Structure 1
Amino acid sequence: MPAHVPTKDVHPRECSVADALRVVGERWTLLVIRELLYGVRRFEGIARNTGASRDILTARLRKLEAAGIIRRELYNEHPARYEYHLTSSGRELSDVLSMLMKWGDRHINTEDPPVRWIHTCGEVLDPVVVCAHCGKPARDGGTPTGRGALAD
């Protein structure tokens, strides 16, 4: 049987990564969140800075609002115009985007990273993921557990 033909034995692993990607794992969605983190709140600015077409941007904003990641606030009644704001759930995605940006700076834009974030302490932000219990970096290892961790 050719490798590209699915078989009856396909059982995708249960995983919160897969579940999260169903909500935010698409380029335009992450770029919308980036713009909101940068302080861009209005449709036109988000469209300009992401390059998304109006129909794609509208669909992504609706999906993010339905998922509770953003909320709309009316700023003009006639015609109705809205600003978009991250909810607390949406603001938590700043950690994800910070790490993605760090990875991109290290492996894609190695010569001249296009953006640097300055932390409130005054230094360039260098995000790391550490264990909340012991403080060691997450990439030092661990063992998956739970129903989605069952191996073949």
Structure 2
Amino acid sequence: MQSATLFWKVANGDHPCPHASSLLGWEFIFYEPDKRQVRVRFHASASLTTPLQCIHGGMLGAMLDDCMGAAVLAALGPEEVAPSARLETRLLAPALPGHLAGVARVTRRIGKLHYTSGELHAEDGTLLATAKACYKVIPMPPGGVLQGAVEPG
């Protein structure tokens, strides 16, 4: 674990959570380095709902992206970041406001590309959504601000 990285500073509460993660109610639970797996929790507020009072599917996709990205970032060094380059989400059941559990793992690494899979569950264990994604490891940009698109390969 690289406790000096921005990810670990956020996870340990030593740095503010990114704005998008805060909006989603992101909370770090734990990381299993041997499995390259992370567990997080989201407090999905009513502000994320559709007129049907369920969590918007795009928000579920964003939660899975935040979860899978954490699985990649947890193992990187302080001079590396890994923006998402590709994301595929499958919505399986409606999600209601409340706590949602996310689990994600790095399934494969090919050079600078990290492939991940993730799941999002309701408090009662119902599988709500799954996703697969690809993240490309790049050097930390100057000032920590990414400019331009990230190509997947």
Same fold, TM-score > 0.5, yes or no: no
More strand by share: 2
**In terms of Rg, which structure is larger?**
1
Query: Given the two structures, how large is their TM-score scaled by the length of structure 2?
Result: 0.29
Query: Given the two structures, how large is their TM-score scaled by the length of structure 1?
Result: 0.29
